[in-house]
Chain A
Amino acid sequence: GAGVSQSPSNKVTEKGKDVELRCDPISGHTALYWYRQSLGQGLEFLIYFQGNSAPDKSGLPSDRFSAERTGGSVSTLTIQRTQQEDSAVYLCASSLTPWTGKSRTDTQYFGPGTRLTVL
């Protein structure tokens, strides 16, 4: 597609339920990133996928959080046994090439996010 898409745009769930958030990156982009944006805070890095390499999971806040990327394209972020503190906007981004920080082609393109509310 033309940009990064995420679904659903909004998700309301009850405490203790599991949720799955989906990200469709830009076609051909090899790198995919998940972030969390809590109210009044900046973006918090969660996980980074690059091609077939093992993902960088160093940002995942607990073992209730997991993510996978199937076929090097679509990614799903799963939160098990949701807690109220998990309420946030979850952002996905993709880049054409692996992250270096100093390349034109590793610019991250962000999706619109999924707003998760845990009651």
Chain B
Amino acid sequence: AQSVTQPDIHITVSEGASLELRCNYSYGATPYLFWYVQSPGQGLQLLLKYFSGDTLVQGIKGFEAEFKRSQSSFNLRKPSVHWSDAAEYFCAVGRSGGFKTIFGAGTRLFVKA
């Protein structure tokens, strides 16, 4: 069955520190993978997506993610976190040919000064 797992319910990092949010997926074919961010009081926003090609994907706001097929992972990274990055982050997996995107439960990021 298709599924997305975000192992960390919440993470706290210091401002300026590096960040890695984990995402593991289970999918029968080559997946399309997405990361979204949901800031307090705001709608979901797409950070980046992968569907083919270079396995290291650059997104908005300085985020990047790497697709590792052997590990069924698509971890989100940022080299230096800003206080404004505090939000909830969702990983999702989907495919073409019909809308069947599955979202993870989310990881809430806290940033401390």
Chain A interface (Cβ < 8 Å from any Cβ of B): 3-4, 33, 40-45, 48, 56, 58, 91, 93, 99-102, 107-113
B32 CB contact (under 8 Å) in A3, A101, A107, A110: A101
Contact A91 B43 (CB under 8 A): yes
Q: Does B41 contact A (CB under 8 A)?
A: yes
Measured CB to CB, the closest approach of chain A to B34, in angstroms, equals: 8
Contact A93 B44 (CB under 8 A): yes
Contact A56 B99 (CB under 8 A): yes
Contact A45 B99 (CB under 8 A): yes
Instruction: Indicate with 1 or 0, residue by residue over B13-27, a CB within 8 angstroms of chain A CB atoms.
Output: 000000000000000
Contact B104 A42 (CB under 8 A): yes
Contact A42 B43 (CB under 8 A): no
Measured CB to CB, the closest approach of chain A to B58, in angstroms, equals: 14
Contact A43 B43 (CB under 8 A): no
Contact A102 B51 (CB under 8 A): yes
Which parts of B53-104 form the interface with A (CB within 8 Å)? 90, 92, 94-96, 98-104
Contact A112 B51 (CB under 8 A): no
A102 to chain B: which residues have CB within 8 Å? 32, 49, 51-52, 96
Contact B44 A42 (CB under 8 A): no
Q: Does B46 contact A (CB under 8 A)?
A: yes
Q: Does B109 contact A (CB under 8 A)?
A: no
Contact B32 A4 (CB under 8 A): no
A93 to B105, CA, bound (A): 18
Measured CB to CB, the closest approach of chain B to A68, in angstroms, equals: 18
B42 to chain A: which residues have CB within 8 Å? 112
Known: A43-B92, A48-B99. 19 other contacts (CB 8 A): A4-B43, A40-B105, A42-B105, A42-B106, A43-B44, A44-B103, A45-B100, A45-B101, A91-B44, A93-B44, A99-B99, A101-B32, A101-B94, A101-B96, A101-B101, A102-B32, A109-B43, A110-B44, A112-B42
A26 to B94, CA, bound (A): 23
A44 to chain B: which residues have CB within 8 Å? 103
A109 to B52, CA, bound (A): 22
Most interface-central of A43, A99, A100 (chain B CB within 10 A): A43
A56 to B99, CA, bound (A): 8
Measured CB to CB, the closest approach of chain A to B27, in angstroms, equals: 12
